[in-house]
Amino acid sequence: MRIVPDKPFLYKGGKRGVLLLHGFTGNTKDVRALGNYLNKHGYTCYAPLYAGHGTSPEELLTSRSAEWWQDVVDGYNYLKKLQIEEIAVVGLSLGALYALKLGSMLPVNGIVSMCAPIKKKSLETLSDHITRYAVNYKKMEKKSDQQIQNELTSIHKSSDTILLDVQHVIEDVNNRLPAIECPALIIQARQDHRANLESPDILYNKISSTKKSIKWYEQSSHIITRGPEKNQLHTDIHDFLEGT
């Protein structure tokens, strides 16, 4: 079965823009509904697709964090070229880390961090993300369980470099947190088994923003944008952006 690759998306609105950033092994579908909602309220929304994402796990493993970060910066500059006057950045998981990094380096109107994995993860834990992604992808390709297992063995042998890359991103962002001074909304799902639940307090205490808050979603898991509280999430993010 041929799987159609995911794509970046742009929803044109007014002069206030939102850069929407998906997570590691994720794609722009994870932030599309949020982008749609914000666009209906007048925001121009753009979501880049990181190199290697939205495709096969084998292609994902050929990409590097430097490429993903460049996709983020290019997305910010793309909104600038559209004459967007104010840019906020909203990120999920790895995208939340990149939102924080962007806010520490470039002028942004506000940051929304969703389920940021701010505490360093073991390679084994990170490897689980790739395994989950690979299995789901290959099931969509209609491959047999045996064929999937054979291909997983090869994938695991090739995954250490990209996993070390993700660890480096976490360390790098931790070092940059004190440089963040813009308004920040820190969002965390209570049922999240991928990001440490201490992360919101760590973020809150390390960033230098004077306007910052933590919001918990009791029924949601890591991909909070697709969870049972997504409608409330949309409203809360919109309210935050309106107040920046």
Is residue 183 exposed (0-12), middle (13-18) or buried (19+ Cβ within 10 Å)?
A: buried
Catalytic residue among 93, 113, 199, 220: 93
**CA dihedral angle for residue 119, residue 123, residue 162, residue 127, rounded to 10 degrees:** -110
Annotated catalytic residue 222: yes
Annotated catalytic residue 127: no
Contact between 67 and 98 (Cβ < 8 Å): no
Catalytic residue among 71, 129, 192, 234: 192
Q: How far is CA 39 from the centre of its chain?
A: 19
Q: How many residues does the chain have?
A: 244
Annotated catalytic residue 192: yes
Residue whose tokens read 């480096």: 168
Contact between 21 and 72 (Cβ < 8 Å): yes
Nearby residues of 150 by Cβ (< 8 Å), 6 or more positions away: none
| Enzyme catalytic residues | 93, 192, 222
